[in-house]
Amino acid sequence: MTGKKKLKVGILDIVTRRPRPTLYGRVMHGNLASIMPQAIAVWCEEEGHDVTFVCYTAVEDLFTAFPDELDILFIGAFTQSAQLAYAVSNLFRKKGVATVLGGPHARCYPEDAQLYFDYVLGFTDKPLVTDVLADCSQHRPMGLLMSARGQPVDLPGVRERWKFIEATLAKTATNFKIVPMIGSLGCPYTCSFCIDSVVKYQPLDFGVIRDDLQFLLTKFKRPIVGWHDPNFGVRFDDYLSVIEQADPDRRMRFIAESSLSLMSEEKVKRLANAGFEAVLPGIESWYDMGAKSKTGAKQAREKMLQVADHVNMIMRHIPYVQANFVMGLDSDEGPEPFELTKEFLDRTPGAFPAYSLFSAFGEAAPLNLELQKQNRVLRFPFHFLNNNQAMNVKPLHYSWPEFYSRLIDLKKHSFSVKAIARRAQATAGWIPKWMNVVRAISSEGWGRIKYHSDMLARLETDKSLRAFFERETEAVPQFYVDRVRNDLGAFWDHLPDGALEHEQNAYLHKVQSAAVAAQ
Ligand code: SF4
């Protein structure tokens, strides 16, 4: 620290966009913390600064959560929390604090974020954070855009992050506590809609993972680890060997996202034996992405039948399977994709379906450039961009009413009382059964059916809303403005002017400007 000013650093990990706790939130929000804000907290302390770390789960009072005279505030946010993050940043900037945005929103919408933060970070590693701390000044009206050349080559492990993890897990209302760990960054697959498709696959240090797992066994009787790897198990044998060595008594339980292609029966048995109790394979579409589901060129019903067999095989060994789908992709047309998904659910009664609406998050993925060129991206406020509350890409083969009608029909099929009962019956273990029932009858299942049904009714009756959906106007409908105001509560007054809107084609404009400059 010699010669360096000791800074008061605030770190805010926003996991929810609404300052109101719900029952689900009290159980789960503390389990949804990100790893990067914890890593930044460790790096700031290593640099000798005073750190106040807050994982925002909706129960904290952000007006008083940080000490007075903070020098700098780092905020990590997904796009759905952007408006809350902008309001918090504004509140602190008015007090003279320098603010920094990192995380997915900063990577997807950097130019927009520059309007509301002093620093906006792309890829972030320790040298980059050290540079920000050394500068620690106001950059207004346009924040400074900074990025490392790639993802960090290493990250602080659980042992180093423990005090931040422990404080965050203490906020969960039950003993169901998930420790966030990561063993790899990026993905070797190239799903064109995915932010990780353009990040080189890179395993992290397996020695750190082994040490972290052994450390966790001293903290919990039966620890639960949620792997944050975008695609767990690319280096399957290395990974599993480390887990098996670290936990010979098989006390640990694990949750991971993995593509079906990496889950042969032999591997699934090994996962189950190592303590994996939940896996989240991405099926995405019945027409594309054959490589990641190991269905090759098979399409439509043929692919569905193969995937259903595959998922049933996994469920014979692992109790909880969440099947991820993206609805409204350009390859979808007519009733078939929805009907195939229904048949898939009938054939795999134990699997929990998770539906994402096809969305284009700024410059997250290569496909977004093409969608912006085609003028198909809508200017929904960020607050609704969470793959569920809004679909910001105009579907290629559906009118909006047709799309919503088919989506509602599929969801009613997925979360009918009969389907919930069959799912509970086909699932082993009371925690997986309980999770499936709660998710189906809460805001995720029945809640979204109601939300989409309201939306369909509005599309038929609210002319300004329909005009916005049809790209006839950019004016954000009052319906959405009112919802943001209601959701932000006291933070609405701190939302900067203009922060409800953004340039939805900023990525295209940037690429075009770069091309002109290069001529
Ligand atoms: S397999 Fe999953 S993580 Fe990898 S690029 Fe595709 S969607 Fe992204």
Atom of ligand 1 nearest to the CA of 196: 8
Residue 290: the pLDDT is 54
Question: Does ligand 1 come within 6 angstroms of the Cβ of 194?
Answer: yes
Q: What is the CA radius of gyration of the chain?
A: 23
Q: What is the pLDDT of residues 263-285, one digit of tens each?
A: 999 999 999 999 999 999 988 88
Question: Does ligand 1 come within 6 angstroms of the Cβ of 282?
Answer: yes
Question: Does ligand 1 come within 6 angstroms of the Cβ of 196?
Answer: yes
Instruction: Say if residue 191's pLDDT is above 90.
Output: no
Decide if 50 contacts 6 (C-beta within 8 A).
yes
What torsion do the CA atoms of 422, 424, 425, 429 make, to the nearest 10 degrees? 160
Q: What is the pLDDT of residues 127-147, one digit of tens each?
A: 999 999 999 999 999 999 999
- The token pair at 351 is 């699997």
Instruction: Say if residue 202's pLDDT is above 80.
Output: yes
Question: Does ligand 1 come within 6 angstroms of the Cβ of 258?
Answer: no
- Amino acid letter, residue 42: V
Q: Which residues contact 383 (CB under 8 A, 6 or more apart)?
A: 17, 80, 82, 83, 84, 389, 480, 483, 484, 487
Residue 442: the pLDDT is 83
Mean pLDDT of the chain: 94
Tell me phi and psi for residue 447, to 5 degrees.
Answer: -60, -40
What torsion do the CA atoms of 369, 371, 376, 377 make, to the nearest 10 degrees? -50
CA of residue 308 to ligand 1 center, whole Å: 20
- pLDDT band at residue 293 under the 50/70/90 scheme: low
CA of residue 310 to ligand 1 center, whole Å: 18
Atom of ligand 1 nearest to the CA of 195: 8
Average pLDDT for 173-201: 89
CA distance linking residue 252 with residue 413, whole number of Å: 35
Residue 429: the pLDDT is 85
CA of residue 439 to ligand 1 center, whole Å: 24
Tell me phi and psi for residue 471, to 5 degrees.
Answer: 65, 25
- pLDDT band at residue 294 under the 50/70/90 scheme: low
Q: Which residues contact 8 (CB under 8 A, 6 or more apart)?
A: 49, 50, 52, 67, 69, 70, 71, 72
Instruction: Say if residue 245's pLDDT is above 70.
Output: yes
Residue 284: the pLDDT is 85
Pocket test for ligand 1, best of 184, 185, 187 (most atoms within 8 A of CB): 187
Residue 133: the pLDDT is 98
Q: What is the pLDDT of residues 402-457, one digit of tens each?
A: 999 999 999 999 999 999 999 999 998 888 898 899 889 888 899 999 999 999 99
Question: Does ligand 1 come within 6 angstroms of the Cβ of 364?
Answer: no
Q: What percent of the chain shows pLDDT beyond 90?
A: 83
Q: What is the pLDDT of residues 15-37, one digit of tens each?
A: 999 887 777 788 889 999 999 99
- The token pair at 108 is 């997807």
Q: What percent of the chain shows pLDDT beyond 70?
A: 98
Pocket test for ligand 1, best of 198, 199, 259 (most atoms within 8 A of CB): 259
Residue 206: the pLDDT is 92
CA distance linking residue 345 with residue 348, whole number of Å: 5
Residue 3: the pLDDT is 61
CA distance linking residue 83 with residue 494, whole number of Å: 10
Question: Does ligand 1 come within 6 angstroms of the Cβ of 186?
Answer: no
pTM: 0.94
Identify the DSSP state of 218. Answer: T
Helix axes 206-217, 158-169, angle to 10 degrees: 40
- pLDDT band at residue 295 under the 50/70/90 scheme: low
Residue 353: the pLDDT is 97
Question: Does ligand 1 come within 6 angstroms of the Cβ of 328?
Answer: no
Question: Does ligand 1 come within 6 angstroms of the Cβ of 330?
Answer: no
End-to-end CA distance of the chain: 47
Average pLDDT for 332-354: 97
Instruction: Say if residue 98's pLDDT is above 60.
Output: yes
Q: What is the pLDDT of residues 79-93, one digit of tens each?
A: 999 999 999 999 999
CA of residue 28 to ligand 1 center, whole Å: 24
